[in-house]
Structure 1
């Protein structure tokens, strides 16, 4: 879920759901409505509870993914008591933005931004830049400008400046020599910063999908970024600002993702993904604890609900066979053998043993290719691993980010425009719902 304020200063909340049916990941918008009251934890919790009750899913929620705002975190964790997952993309955004806000790096970004603003604002500068690109035999590319709410827009702006460095420098020298120019060292630093941020952008894109399984990738992606940054630390830059940025990234990644293997629903999703299983875990103990929890959940799912006394009596009256006749006493010399093999016979296997055998068989199978569809793998083996397959459907449906809700607001912004600013909230709600779900 996510919140957004329109250009009419009306505050909206969107709630999306993600689930597995026929071994395909599906997404739907449940509601996009006005939050008239203040955004307190209690009010947000009431709205989320209302949506869940309207759709009859209050007992089917595996996890709720939101941003890092304290009010929504408290609403989900403390009031609703749902499993809460912090948006992976939002955490990455906080990490990267903090790292580039260091004094020297930020000063460099402001220089690039001032150049981008000048070129985009001036038709003469834009035309001259295109002319210089043609003269140098380069593809005509426009400057990009960053957006305060998206860290990757800063990365794209700096990356574009690197791509058109020569024609850009020539254009600025001819048209506006008074505008602060980047020194050769600053160009080198800009390139290094882009190289460092590139994996963060790639991970953000990978984790923002709603058509593919993403929750099971969170641990792997976090550990991957930590290893990349650690490699940068072992091979430090010659530029002090870059060194400081890398050290900050390492510390902040550890702060925000150091305990990600302890986030239960993400750990269980990772274990049940046939591409990763226990191999995505760095700490063996976390992997083993996750196996135990999955076995427990599968056992619970496999345990049949015993009929009540009234139900038993009704079945007996209807000729049912719920009540078994008393078994014959076992001779003493067979007692030891019978005790040891009882759980191995089909039909008398207890749920706990069945779940344990399934998880052992699942973990023993080879990993499938990274680009393979884990849900297709489960579709083929659903009958082999029936109990843990039930658990899988409540774990691999978890998305890693709240980006799907944010995409709803992109559509909402196209509906509520300056020329359509008198649409009532109820009409907006209906239009957005149809747009998202049809």
Structure 2
């Protein structure tokens, strides 16, 4: 009897310690996952506030050391994630990649590759595959070799149907070297169009420079910032800070102008009270700024539209490029006519033959919101229709003669257009 009782006690102790050990391992796993998801440093486990928090949650729990996390737990988490992604990519038949070269604050060159694909449930997935340092010179051959190493590692080299990059000649040549279809990033193309146009019109460039000086003054002077806040409250104006232009993002110039227009009265009053009349902007210049903002408003709307990362945007590029050209051309503002003309000239060059690019034209025609009405030339729409018919026939291993008749496709391709209040889609609605 005593032996049985002793065995029963030992069994309970074993179960207790086993459950306790499993619970601690589960907490360790959740802790490391939290650090990875929230991008927290491993040193957080040494912070007194975090340790006090853990004591409240579970006084018996002792978190792993920073060294254990960095040496054992995080590498294990990375291996599990990569194995899961490898398995997922094995099931993918087609994918696309986006890639970009960038320089760190330590002036070291890196390249990042992101893969985009659809799951069996038609869910769009975007995953960063690698960020690696390029130690050699950024020639097309070196970039191509680095990209190929990454795609080979993930077994997607032969699955890539398109690679999207910026317009830099070396990375474009690298994509061509690897024999992948290439598309220039539409957002980057817009950035070049607007940024270069703003700089090529002297009066606009000078006005932007003056606005930058104003914003810089307020950002560097706590006295000026405090005074501006006081004036805003007195004038019952929204307490918004001025926005500084970022050289690599054209829309920052737009937001800078927009904010200065909003804060015109408060900013002018503050500058006068601080004896900085040299920085004030006249009423005539404010009116010119309003015209610039009005002309650039569609470009800002398109930049936001195309930058959404939760939806496929390839089918929008042709209709959006047409909308920008139409809206810019229809503008009646004469104050900055040179800016308008410059924008149109650059768009005409960048968007030339865009409807002949099947990587853009085919998804546009297949998008139920656009179909044929998105094309400026119905002849181009007819060519895309025939291209799609041939692709379907090839995929079904049929002869062109057995494929869907073009008149039947014509019935399918009916007018359909999105609705929104930005004015971008008006040309589709009024088609």
* 1:370 alignment partner, one of 393, 407, 418: 418
CA contact (8 A) 2:365 2:372 kept: yes
Aligned to 2:279, the other structure's residue is in SS state coil
Tell me what 1:282 maps to. 376
Instruction: Give the Cα separation in 2 of the matches to 1:100 and 1:363.
Output: 45
* 1:32 alignment partner, one of 131, 141, 163: 131
Instruction: Give the Cα separation in 1 of the matches to 2:271 and 2:192.
Output: 33
Scaled by the length of structure 2, the TM-score of the pair is 0.71
CA contact (8 A) 1:295 1:359 kept: no
Q: Are residues 1:273 and 2:372 paired?
A: no
Tell me what 1:18 maps to. 116
Change (3 A) 1:363 1:136: farther
Instruction: Give the Cα separation in 1 of the matches to 2:234 and 2:402.
Output: 72
Residue 90 of structure 1 deviates from its aligned partner by 0.9
Change (3 A) 1:44 1:218: same
| Structure 2 unaligned residues grouped into runs of 5+ | 1-98, 421-431
Bigger relative CO (Cα 8 Å, ≥ 6 apart): 1
Aligned to 2:105, the other structure's residue is in SS state coil
Change (3 A) 1:371 1:25: farther
Instruction: Give the Cα separation in 2 of the matches to 1:124 and 1:223.
Output: 47
* 2:182 alignment partner, one of 66, 80, 84: 84
Residue 258 of structure 1 deviates from its aligned partner by 2.5
Instruction: Give the Cα separation in 2 of the matches to 1:371 and 1:83.
Output: 32
Work out the number of aligned pairs and report it: 320
Residue 236 of structure 1 deviates from its aligned partner by 3.7
Scaled by the length of structure 1, the TM-score of the pair is 0.70
Listed as ranges, the matches of 1:120-139 within 5 Å are: 120-139=219-238
Tell me what 1:8 maps to. 106
Aligned to 1:62, the other structure's residue is in SS state strand
Instruction: Give the Cα separation in 2 of the matches to 1:5 and 1:41.
Output: 17
Aligned to 2:158, the other structure's residue is in SS state coil
Tell me which stretches of 4 or more aligned residues in structure 1 moved more than 4 Å.
Answer: 365-369
Tell me what 2:286 maps to. 187
Residue 48 of structure 1 deviates from its aligned partner by 1.5
Instruction: Give the Cα separation in 2 of the matches to 1:354 and 1:244.
Output: 54
Tell me what 2:90 maps to. none
Change (3 A) 1:161 1:363: farther
- Structure 1 stretch 293-302 or stretch 173-182: which is displaced more? 173-182
Residue 37 of structure 1 deviates from its aligned partner by 1.2
CA contact (8 A) 2:175 2:181 kept: yes
Change (3 A) 1:211 1:355: farther
Change (3 A) 1:18 1:114: same
Change (3 A) 1:15 1:362: farther
CA contact (8 A) 2:371 2:414 kept: no
Listed as ranges, the matches of 1:32-181 within 5 Å are: 32-77=131-176, 79-101=177-199, 102-181=201-280
Listed as ranges, the matches of 1:158-237 within 5 Å are: 158-232=257-331, 235-237=332-334
Instruction: Give the Cα separation in 2 of the matches to 1:41 and 1:355.
Output: 41
List per-residue Cα deviations over 1:322-370 (Å, max 9, x = no partner): xxxxxxxxxxxxxxxxxxxxxxxxxxxx453564259935852655663
| Structure 1 unaligned residues grouped into runs of 5+ | 304-349, 373-438
CA contact (8 A) 1:277 1:363 kept: no
List per-residue Cα deviations over 1:214-263 (Å, max 9, x = no partner): 0110001100000001101xx242x2xx1110011111110111321122
Aligned to 2:155, the other structure's residue is in SS state coil
List per-residue Cα deviations over 1:358-408 (Å, max 9, x = no partner): 993585265566379xxxxxxxxxxxxxxxxxxxxxxxxxxxxxxxxxxxx
Instruction: Give the Cα separation in 2 of the matches to 1:137 and 1:254.
Output: 45
Tell me what 2:95 maps to. none
Residue 271 of structure 1 deviates from its aligned partner by 1.2
Tell me what 2:50 maps to. none
